[in-house]
Chains A and B, each alone.
Chain A
Amino acid sequence: MMASNDLVIKTESLTKRYGDILAVNDLSLEVPRGHVFGLLGPNGSGKTTTMGMLLGLVRPSAGRFSLFGGRKPHREALTRTGAIVEFPSFYPHLTGRDNLAFFQEISGNGDSVELDTLLEKVGLDGRGKDRFQTYSLGMKQRLGLAYVLLGDPDLLILDEPTNGMDPDGMAEVRELIRSLGDGERTVLLSSHLLHEVEQVCDSVAILSHGRLVVQGRVDELVRSLAGETILLRTTDNAKAIEILSKLNWVTDLNSKGESILVSAPTLRSSELSEVLSRSAVYVAEMTLGHVSLEEYYFKITDDANGDTA
């Protein structure tokens, strides 16, 4: 367990109930300082509600949380936080620059140079004097990023930050988020784009039905599942699945393109080959433990859904 000083976000049994619906259920999260932390989960899994609670926009029904170790009042902690939840919202009749100036003045620090620098950083330097209502979806997202960076905050909370952006913009923003997470700054990021999270995040927490399914470093989580998967390409995949399904140490079998994804201890991979060859099915290719975060996510959430069903 980490020292509380190293935890920028800590939640303990955080719960939010809307009538009979448990949006967030007994959530205990730990986000370490300096991490880019991904919050993953299907729609309705409680990601946005959790972020809302951290920002004081949603009142928890039970449990507690702290930002920056809870040493300072929550309102003060928020002045060190840049956050966008759901969608960047600005005053449509004000210009992009005026919107930023307003939020800068609320937080009480920064100057006009910072505004110009941020607009340039997010690629809006030529459009700062245009009204927000004239911005495209991608430009709104960019202004949202400039907003969260106001005052050089120690914690960023970003909900789907690349939503509505074109591929170039998404790549730029991913790069930006990655660079923001360097050093002491912490980023809490929610996204539906699993490859995006894999590229950007150090750690993730996966939520399902408001509950925390798993939490940890991305590389460790993926490795834990990869240690139990073998990718096979055989001369007769259908027959191979039939044979392997009879082995009690093979826990799962899935077709994956022209290959079969076998859930089994990698130490017994040679036995797979042997069993198949006895039935005149020959292994053409065998790859041990190569799992993407996406595969991991689906495996974990399927299991979690199976448990709750």
Chain B
Amino acid sequence: MIRQTLRMARWEVIKLRRRWMPWVFLAFIVLSSQLRLLTEYQMYSNADPGRIAVQAGPANEEGEHSTISISCLDIRDGLVESRLSGIPTEFRQAALQEVESLRDRCPALLGMYDFARTNFLNNATLPGSLSYGINMFGTLGYLFVMILAAMAIGVEYTWGTARQVLAKGCGRGRFLAAKVLGLLAVVGIGHLAVILFMGISSLIITYTMAGTGISTDVMQWLRPGADVVKSMYMMLPYIILGTFFAVLTSSASSGIVISVVFYISESILRWIIGSYLGPDAARILISVNTPLWMASLEFPALNNLSEIYNYLRDFLSTFLPILAYIVVFWGGSFWLFKRRDLKPSTGV
């Protein structure tokens, strides 16, 4: 039974691989993650470390002064003296006064600059970049996965192939389970593709930028692995929701439309419920739970019971609602699929 389900799941991957929709979604996610990386770089390179230009000498024939650039970084690193060492004394005093006036603003400026740099380095170098890439599956990834699931199940009705598969004696439960497993495998492959591209980009960044490196901390390298598992768990309710909508409507197009409507409605409801009934009430919505689930939870110290308790409470407060969605909608899909007659193909 398990072997047959796995064989069918393998074929689900083959079938999806030969359709354009998964490739478009994957290309979108990969490009988005790369663009986000580029945006992070732009933000870092545009971050202002309080750069000023001080006059370094007399004006030339065109009336232009030669200048030296001094930033808060020079001040923090104690490089001001050496930077100003070559300039004439009459200009040096004025330059030092300008540096002094900059020094007052430096803590705030460097705070923002350091934040942008840390952010960039955490997200752009290995292994932090991998988790950053995996997080790209959030937001639009949910919608894509729902659409993909609705499409994969719905076309079986549209093409009439579900009838033919079941007439071969595969069993309705196995058919549905193989679909979900196959979709999970495709989503897993998508994660690997994003990780691969992020890894390549990070290596290029590490190679070309000074002050970057690859962490050798094992715990840091375990984090992307844990994030993949968490992300896959987060995707499961969306796969099952897409499945449910396709089974409910016995159609690919209707399943996809309802998935999109569901996604938009949740976003609106999230805002309405959150505003009128409070954020806790909005926890009934899956889209509220999934970002919380993906948010990093630091492992507690094992000798601190209250920390362990808080960790488990936070963990279960997102794990259980997602599990509830999986169980309820999987049960609904299975029940509907099991008891309904399979009508003939509605067209190729």
Q: A86-B345, A91-B159 are in contact. Are A106 and B165 (CB under 8 A)?
A: yes
Nearest-CB distance from B40 to chain A (Å)? 38
Asked whether, in the complex, the Cβ of A55 is within 8 Å of the Cβ of B159, the reply is no
Chain B 11-36 near chain A by CB (<8 Å), digits 1 or 0: 10011001100000000000000000
Asked whether, in the complex, the Cβ of A55 is within 8 Å of the Cβ of B167, the reply is yes
List, in ascending order, chain A residues with CB within 8 A of B18's CB.
93-94
Nearest-CB distance from B166 to chain A (Å)? 6
Q: A59-B339, A89-B159 are in contact. Are A84 and B166 (CB under 8 A)?
A: no
Nearest-CB distance from A78 to chain B (Å)? 3
5 contacts between A and B (CB under 8 A): A57-B167, A84-B164, A89-B164, A103-B164, A103-B165
The answer to whether A274 has its CB under 8 Å from any CB of chain B is no
Kindly state the separation between the CA atoms of A133 and B14 in the bound complex, as whole angstroms: 17
The tally of residues in A whose CB lies under 8 Å from a CB in B reads 34
List, in ascending order, chain A residues with CB within 8 A of B171's CB.
75
Chain B 63-106 near chain A by CB (<8 Å), digits 1 or 0: 00000000000000000000000000000000000000000000
List, in ascending order, chain B residues with CB within 8 A of A254's CB.
none
The tally of residues in B whose CB lies under 8 Å from a CB in A reads 27
Kindly state the separation between the CA atoms of A79 and B15 in the bound complex, as whole angstroms: 22
Interface centre among A56, A77, A98, A107 (most CB of B within 10 A): A56
Kindly state the separation between the CA atoms of A159 and B172 in the bound complex, as whole angstroms: 22
CB nearest neighbor in B for A144: B164
CB nearest neighbor in A for B10: A105
Asked whether, in the complex, the Cβ of B168 is within 8 Å of the Cβ of A79, the reply is yes
Number of A-B pairs, beta carbon distance below 8 Å: 86
Q: A52-B341, A76-B169, A87-B344 are in contact. Are A105 and B11 (CB under 8 A)?
A: yes
Asked whether, in the complex, the Cβ of A89 is within 8 Å of the Cβ of B161, the reply is yes
Chain B 142-170 near chain A by CB (<8 Å), digits 1 or 0: 00000000000000000111011111111
Chain A 41-60 near chain B by CB (<8 Å), digits 1 or 0: 00000001000100111110
Q: A85-B344, A106-B4, A108-B4 are in contact. Are A78 and B11 (CB under 8 A)?
A: no
Asked whether, in the complex, the Cβ of A85 is within 8 Å of the Cβ of B167, the reply is yes
Asked whether, in the complex, the Cβ of A92 is within 8 Å of the Cβ of B160, the reply is no
Asked whether, in the complex, the Cβ of B170 is within 8 Å of the Cβ of A89, the reply is no
Kindly state the separation between the CA atoms of A76 and B3 in the bound complex, as whole angstroms: 15
Chain A contact residues, CB within 8 Å of chain B: 48, 52, 55-59, 75-79, 81, 83-94, 98, 102-103, 105-108, 133, 147
Kindly state the separation between the CA atoms of A98 and B164 in the bound complex, as whole angstroms: 15
CB nearest neighbor in B for A88: B164
List, in ascending order, chain B residues with CB within 8 A of A147's CB.
164
Q: A106-B4, A133-B348 are in contact. Are A89 and B160 (CB under 8 A)?
A: yes
Nearest-CB distance from A68 to chain B (Å)? 12
Kindly state the separation between the CA atoms of A83 and B166 in the bound complex, as whole angstroms: 10
CB nearest neighbor in B for A107: B168
The answer to whether B342 has its CB under 8 Å from any CB of chain A is yes
Kindly state the separation between the CA atoms of A103 and B165 in the bound complex, as whole angstroms: 7
Asked whether, in the complex, the Cβ of B169 is within 8 Å of the Cβ of A87, the reply is no
Asked whether, in the complex, the Cβ of B168 is within 8 Å of the Cβ of A103, the reply is yes
Nearest-CB distance from B214 to chain A (Å)? 42
Q: A106-B4, A108-B4 are in contact. Are A90 and B11 (CB under 8 A)?
A: no
